[in-house]
Structure 1
Amino acid sequence: MFETLLEEFITLWVVIDPIGTIPVFIAVTSALTAVQRRKTALVACLVSAAILMFFLIFGQLLIDALGIGLLSFQVAGGIVLFLFALTMIFGESKPETDRKSVDLEDEIASERPSPAVFPLAVPSLASPGAMLAIVILTDNHRFSVADQTITAGVMLLIVAIAYVCMRLADPIIRLIGISGSAVVSRVMGMILASVAANAVLSALLEIVKTGAL
């Protein structure tokens, strides 16, 4: 029992990656206040936990119905992560505009998803790998409801650890300031772009080798 729990914990730790979420959190919340950062961290964890719980309960039915495989998830997740990495590297341009244009941009920006949802909840915490891993670890054909409940508890524990990790980012942000976080954002953007490219390339190579999606 202990070995099974440890194996599930390690698997979910790797795919959810609480530590790897810290630089993303710093990058997208550097301009927010401490209260806003705490709220963002909490909402990100709640949303990611809800998404993973959905896949734990309904994921197997959904994937079987749509015929989606791990490699397809990996390619999609890699592309999304790469696009986000580009925004971290280049930042958002803010050209001079008249007041009407500024008001329109503010209205549009207010409709954009919160950074707690994208990219923190998805695809940082609730990544395609995490979604599929939770489906595999709760296979209805191999695991009882009790086993699946334990897996859900392990998943929620790791998401809670991710929340603690993001809360610990506060002193880091205060120490390095906005300029320092801008540097961190671009460096981590390069790393995330490399990780995303590697995920897509490895999936494509596997598809070529096996002919399976």
Structure 2
Amino acid sequence: MFEISSAQLLREFITLFVVVDPIGSLPVFYFATSSVAARFHWKFALRGVLVAALVLYFFLIAGQVVIEAIGLRLGSFQIAGGIILFLFALTMIFGPSKPAREIEEAEHTDLSGAVYPLAIPSIASPGAMLAIVILTDNNRNSVSDQLVTAGVLGVVLLITLLLLLLAARLKRVIGTTGADVISRVMGMILATVAVDSVLNGFETLGLFAVHG
């Protein structure tokens, strides 16, 4: 029933893990919950992940339908999406860390911070939305393969929830600086995935064949 290979499954997991960036969301969670009682942190984490899941699964189900409805070619979207993912990766590598971008919003929002900035744009980032649309290509992948992608996304979101629930313990182990370093390494991986998406877009448009 499921035609996806183990290598492709691993690639999808790595791609989604990188763009969702659960570890990179930890500093945002720390700041967003700084004024929230510790007993509510689990509710804060759960709400953030659930909202992010709703957004990401919407793009998984309807993202390509919207693209096709407005007459865009998938190859063009793959190229544009790959370029945007690459720029997104560069901000992860060279730009300010997530808390530097979002600390001002996170410090004073109480439980509302579970939606912004934790769920959006930290977990359900623009890069994650684009990556999901690219991975659920109706022209390349069967429905069963897309169900696998949905399952992989669910696993990544569960990992994100688990890390947020363990945030207090993880803070003592890796700290904010450690999370920032890991996020930058993930940015390098995402840059590679983005280049691959651009090459696939050229191949989809028939401009040249990609081998290897």
1:42 Cα shift?
0.3
Paired AA for residue 158 in structure 1? V
5+ residue gaps, structure 2, are 196-212
Write out per-residue CA displacement over residues 35-76 of structure 1, whole angstroms, 9 at most, x where no aligned residue: 321111001111111111100111112345386742467779
- Aligned equivalent of 1:136, options 134, 137, 152: 134
* Pick aligned residue for 1:4 from 4, 8, 13: 8
Say which of 47, 58, 65 aligns to 1:61.
65
Q: TM-score, normalized by length of structure 1?
A: 0.63
Over 3 Å counting, the alpha-carbon distance change for 1:88 and 1:62 in structure 2 is same
Question: Of the candidates 31, 43, 47, which is equivalent to residue 39 of structure 1?
Answer: 43
TM-aligned CA deviation for residue 91 of structure 1: 8.5
Closer, same or farther: CA 66–42 of 1 in aligned 2, 3 Å: farther
**Counterpart contact for 1:84–1:119, Cα < 8 Å:** no
CA distance in 2, matches of 1:85, 1:162: 20
SS in structure 2 at match of 1:114:
helix
* 1:90 Cα deviation from its structure 2 partner: 10
Aligned counterparts of 2:16 and 2:98: Cα–Cα separation in 1: 24
SS of residue matched to 1:20: coil
Unpaired runs of at least 5, structure 1 = 93-108, 176-180, 207-213
Aligned-pair CA distance for 1:20: 1.1
Question: What does residue 48 of structure 1 align with?
Answer: 52
Quick one: distance in 2 between partners of 1:91 and 1:115?
Answer: 6
Whichever residue aligns with residue 51 of structure 2, its letter is V
* Alpha-carbon distance in 2 for matches of 1:48, 1:91: 16
Q: 1:2 to 1:82 in 2, by over 3 A?
A: closer
Q: Please, what is the CA RMSD of the aligned residues?
A: 3.8
1:156 corresponds to: 154
Aligned residue identity for 1:55: F
Secondary structure at 2:29 match in 1: helix
Corresponding residue number in structure 2 for 1:114: 112
TM-score w.r.t. length of structure 2: 0.64
User: How far is 1:172 from its partner?
Assistant: 5.7
TM superposition shift of 1:31: 1.6
Question: Distance between the aligned counterparts of 2:153 and 2:137, measured in 1?
Answer: 15
Amino acid at match of 1:88: I
Alpha-carbon offset, residue 163 of structure 1: 0.5
d(CA) in 1 for partners of 2:135, 2:115: 25
> Who wins on radius of gyration, i.e. which is larger?
1
Contact 1:34 1:170 in 2 (8 A): no
Whole-angstrom CA distance in 2 between matches of 1:114 and 1:149: 31
Query: How many residues get paired?
Result: 168
Quick one: structure 1 residues 161 and 86, their matched pair in 2 at CA, closer, same or farther if it must change by over 3 Å? closer
Identity across aligned pairs (percent)? 42
2:31 to 27, 30, 39: 27
1:152 aligned partner, one-letter code: A
Match for 1:88 among 95, 103, 108?
A: 103
Structure 2 CA distance for aligned equivalents of residues 124 and 62 of structure 1 = 24
Which one has a larger percent helix, Structure 1 or Structure 2? Answer: 1
